[in-house]
Chain A
Amino acid sequence: DAMVIQNPRYQVTQFGKPVTLSCSQTLNHNVMYWYQQKSSQAPKLLFHYYDKDFNNEADTPDNFQSRRPNTSFCFLDIRSPGLGDAAMYLCATSGRTGEDQPQHFGDGTRLSIL
């Protein structure tokens, strides 16, 4: 019944070792978002796709990349994770941007860096 599915729920990687987080959706939504949330902080938007159009936030580090091979899937690639990248990563979707399309979130992937 889950609509936005993130895998894995917990990911441990080594400092500097590339890691990929995945998100899939069954809602057929046009827009997919990736957020980073650190402890006791607000979720921070990293980037989003409107269909195939990629929109990067100005302050998203170059270390973070994303791919959306089709409507259902979106990936977050962290090329060389640093200790500061340890966080919860949340994927969200919406039918389109706008007031009548609240975002639907997955349960997140908690990333730890050793």
Chain B
Amino acid sequence: DQQVKQNSPSLSVQEGRISILNCDYTNSMFDYFLWYKKYPAEGPTFLISISSIKDKNEDGRFTVFLNKSAKHLSLHIVPSQPGDSAVYFCAALTQGGSEKLVFGKGTKLTVNP
């Protein structure tokens, strides 16, 4: 019973265009969301996060949007670069509870030159 779902296993975009990675969750107790990026043969690295009290958080080329009513978040990368090619994991937690990170299965992004 997946509480965090990334329904697109893969996404391919052209360099310079926007990449949009989507994530849905089912547990309404989740109140903090994170995106991790993973290159082959490396561990996941933290990219950006958002608290449920916000609907947008931006860091350079990366923006995360949260729609609480739809239980949906998305990561926008603009402009996309070939070095962004990686697997992106969405994760969620409930603060003040177990604070356990629950991950999605990941979306493999390929940015073509």
Taking beta carbons and an 8 Å cutoff, which residues of A are in contact with B? 4, 6, 40-45, 48, 55, 57, 90, 92, 97-99, 102-108
Contact status of A42 and B105, CB under 8 A, knowing A99-B95, A105-B44:
yes
Taking beta carbons and an 8 Å cutoff, which residues of B are in contact with A? 2, 4, 9, 32, 34, 36, 41-46, 49, 51, 89, 93, 95, 98-106
Q: Do B43 and A40 touch (CB < 8 A)? A: no
Q: Do B4 and A42 touch (CB < 8 A)? A: yes
> How far, in angstroms, from A108 to B89 measured CA to CA in the complex?
16
Q: Do B105 and A102 touch (CB < 8 A)? A: no
How many residue pairs at the A-B interface have CB separations less than 8 Å? 50
Q: Do A107 and B41 touch (CB < 8 A)? A: yes
With a cutoff of 8 Å between Cβ atoms, the chain A residues found around residue B101 in the complex are 45, 103
With a cutoff of 8 Å between Cβ atoms, the chain A residues found around residue B93 in the complex are 99
Q: Is the interface of A mostly helix, strand, loop or mixed?
A: loop
Q: Quick one: which of A45, A48, A98, A108 contacts B43, CB cutoff 8 A?
A: A108
> How far, in angstroms, from A41 to B46 measured CA to CA in the complex?
18
Q: Do A43 and B103 touch (CB < 8 A)? A: yes
Q: Do B43 and A107 touch (CB < 8 A)? A: yes
Contact status of A104 and B46, CB under 8 A, knowing A42-B89, A42-B103, A45-B100:
yes
* Smallest Cβ-Cβ distance to A100: which chain B residue: B49
